[in-house]
Structure 1
């Protein structure tokens, strides 16, 4: 066994309100979800951990985290679908809460605050966290029928989500808001975790590189250790094309949403995205940087509302 590693007490790069700033307390997690115990063992430094390259171990850890921190009663996802790293997903939610803050710095809470999660996925992860942490309600959309069925099962299997989350199927593969937002319907924010690779080959190369960096050796084949389907991991043109199309379509819904947002995985995507937002005459654009471990992530937010309209909308959120 190698010399025991000294770990900082708090993961300072995570959002201050995150429930995941301290190291995993496996004793408490196992108490919440006993099935996790089978996957917990000391690592080479003598610290309790799980094998993050074992999909079953990651799934068991996620179930325990969701039960312990977010009171989730039921959470199952289909095999080979994306099993999300929860601390990073929580950071997106907490930073959106900061984006919605009122003039006095208060965070709007309650189910009158509504978000649209574009590509809610089989895990329904953002509605789970957003509803638990802030009481928000959500529309979750997806083009994938299996993901829709899974997200609906999670919504139905959790009493708090039943009345606060609505899952809607997007029938058009190249649409984001059309036929999801009704003509008179408003949401306070949208959020999206785009597929960021341009092809399955790119996704596999990235996975191989990640595993090599973490394990120090080249694996024999690509293993996407968090799972993931085509629509979750790659799309024609990659994230730049995906976000470009989303921005162009968002113009038609500019009066129905306060803040449109999307994660951006690659820093190189920012420059062309700013150009498009200038072209479509977005009135305000913000880039929010987040950090998880060695990785820096970010999301971009834009609106078509005037400063006065933003102020009036924000006032309504706090009333």
Structure 2
């Protein structure tokens, strides 16, 4: 019988201090809560339990286990070929948003349903609203252009009664718009959140998927795993990340008083210079860039507001 090393706790210092996965995965507890995960857990050459992260079914099973264990979410699933996000990275975004809100609230993280987030491109997984509601009691509106993704989020919400009053969904019916049709004159959002499509074409997205798989596997492949990485609309759009976020910035300027902080992930550092110029053009009052790092990947959150310091402090959470 292969000897397994006793569990050693290694702190992942690149994760946010409040991230529940900062001290690694407790596979014994995760398997107890989600027995199907057992099929994907192996023992590596150092006799330590691990997972094949190049296998999308393994990653999905790990997500199910984490959602049960940390967030009390049952019956979570996503359709084949849809993005299965790594939960620790998504949780970091939520925790950094909490810190951002605290910066205009006397250092106190605002909690409860009156803090409302707008998730642009919720996908089929509903991850950001799930984590935000569990960690801080926030409520969310989730939008997507993909009806199938919206329908799957609806299933997740209906399977978890505590989410029913916390998350509402809306399909964006006009692909070229982001906030139009979504933000009404009566709406006030505390923040927006977005993981934009990175790539400018299907070909670019496929190349990236292959690169990810080959980095995770010992043997090289030229055939993409169809459900590793996500659905077309989640991975690419015309203009890529830069085009998408630039459009978002221009649209945000039409709703200056209706959101405290607009935010988005920006994966490609080389896009920052152009985005800062656009933010200057639309007269953003304050712009913040928050660095994040998960594993070998570095990303950042760009946040902007049109509210003065006095208006920020007067915002009612």
Q: TM-score scaled by structure 2?
A: 0.95
Q: What is aligned with 1:40?
A: 41
Q: Contact between 1:53 and 1:225, CA under 8 Å: does it hold in 2?
A: no
User: Unmatched 5+ residue regions in structure 1?
Assistant: none
Match of 2:309 among 286, 304, 307: 307
Q: Contact between 2:81 and 2:231, CA under 8 Å: does it hold in 1?
A: yes
- Report the Cα offset of residue 268 of structure 1: 0.5
Q: Contact between 1:204 and 1:224, CA under 8 Å: does it hold in 2?
A: no
- How many residue pairs align between the two structures? 314
Q: Distance in 2 between matches of 1:108 and 1:156?
A: 26
- Report the Cα offset of residue 55 of structure 1: 1.5
The C-alpha deviation readout for 1:47-74, integer Å capped at 9, x for no partner, is: 1122112221111111000000000022
1:297 aligned onto 2:299: yes
For residues 97-112 of structure 1, the aligned pairs below 5 Å read 97-101=98-102, 102-112=104-114
Q: Distance in 1 between matches of 2:152 and 2:30?
A: 24
Q: What is aligned with 1:82?
A: 83
Q: Contact between 1:262 and 1:301, CA under 8 Å: does it hold in 2?
A: yes
Q: Contact between 1:258 and 1:310, CA under 8 Å: does it hold in 2?
A: yes
The C-alpha deviation readout for 1:209-232, integer Å capped at 9, x for no partner, is: 223333354312223663311110
SS of aligned partner of 2:37? helix
- Structure 1 segments, 4+ long, off by >6 Å, are none
For residues 13-162 of structure 1, the aligned pairs below 5 Å read 13-101=14-102, 102-162=104-164
- Report the Cα offset of residue 131 of structure 1: 0.1
The C-alpha deviation readout for 1:286-319, integer Å capped at 9, x for no partner, is: 0000111111110100111112111111xx22xx
For residues 205-220 of structure 1, the aligned pairs below 5 Å read 205-220=207-222
SS of aligned partner of 1:252? coil
Q: Contact between 1:207 and 1:224, CA under 8 Å: does it hold in 2?
A: no
SS of aligned partner of 1:100? helix
1:186 aligned onto 2:204: no
Q: Which moved more, 1:138-147 or 1:205-214?
A: 205-214
SS of aligned partner of 1:259? strand
CA RMSD of aligned residues (A): 1.9
The C-alpha deviation readout for 1:221-271, integer Å capped at 9, x for no partner, is: 223663311110011110000000011011111110000000001001101
The 1:210/1:22 distance shift into structure 2, 3 A limit, reads same
Q: Contact between 2:209 and 2:229, CA under 8 Å: does it hold in 1?
A: no
- Report the Cα offset of residue 8 of structure 1: 6.2
Q: Contact between 1:52 and 1:225, CA under 8 Å: does it hold in 2?
A: no
- Report the Cα offset of residue 104 of structure 1: 3.0
Q: Distance in 2 between matches of 1:79 and 1:232?
A: 13
User: Unmatched 5+ residue regions in structure 2?
Assistant: none
SS of aligned partner of 1:298? strand
